[in-house]
Amino acid sequence: MGPSNWVSLLELPFLLLGVVFAFITARALRGGAFGTGMLYIAIGTTIMGVGHLSMTLNSLWNFNLFNTLFGSVVGPMAFVVALVLTWGFTGYGFYRIYRASRSS
């Protein structure tokens, strides 16, 4: 196991911590434009975490999570959908926060 594999394993707990604090922050903001934006960012980060977990499992143990869950045909498509959802939720969350900050 090379250094890049250890780094990818080390990344996962910190990613989980970031996701937990994103949801805690969204809840503390109690809705509104900032809270809703943060919730979208938290959802996007959660989806990203699943993608990173999948890539780590594949690189370390040749276990493809998406292919296992969805099959060898739909699995790669599901991974691309997860990527698009990650970008979409996160981008929309930042847009909501940006728009709210401009209206204040």
- Tell me which DSSP letter residue 31 carries: S
pLDDT at 6: 78
| Enclosing domain of residue 82 | 3-103
Per-residue DSSP letter, 64: -
Residue 75, C-beta contacts closer than 8 angstroms, at least 6 positions apart: 64, 66, 67, 68, 69
54 touches 8 (CB < 8 A): no
Res 2: pLDDT: 73
The runs of H, that is alpha helices, within the chain are 3-28, 32-61, 65-103
Report pTM.
0.89
Amino acid identity, position 36: T
Task: Look at residue 7 in the predicted model and tell me its pLDDT.
Answer: 82
Number of structural domains in the chain: 1
Using 70 as the pLDDT threshold, list the residues of the chain that sit under it: 1, 104
